[in-house]
Amino acid sequence: MSQPEAGRERSRKEKPMLYLFGLALATGLAVAIAAFAGALAQGRAVAAAVEALARQPEAGGRMFTFLILGLALIEALTIYALVISLLLSFKLPPAAEVLKAISGH
């Protein structure tokens, strides 16, 4: 096999590995970023609710309902990211198959 042919063969094998690497990286980062953003959003929502409650204590009951609803929606977005990440991770082949493909056996 000549030098350019060997390079093309190696490049052909690297493309699926690069795809699998990107997929594995995306599944991990999706949950991490969603959890971080969800935590920040929940913190800001609770801080705003406490500040509003301090200004107007008589609106506490109504405010509590909206706060719980908002927190549930924020948490739902984080759970959607987890579900999508799990769906993507199920697309990954088992580690034994990847190692076998890398070794060329």
Taken in order 97, 98, 100, 105, the sign of the CA dihedral is positive
Angle between helices 3-55 and 60-89 (to 10 degrees): 170
Q: What is the pLDDT of residue 103?
A: 74
Give 42-70 pLDDT, tens digit per residue: 999 999 999 998 999 898 888 889 999 99
Whole-structure pTM value = 0.69
In order of their start, the domains of the chain are 3-103 (1.20.20.10)
Residue 53 contacts residue 63 (beta carbons within 8 Å): yes
Percent of the chain with pLDDT over 70: 86
Instruction: Tell whether the torsion through CA atoms of 3, 4, 5 and 7 is positive or negative.
Output: positive
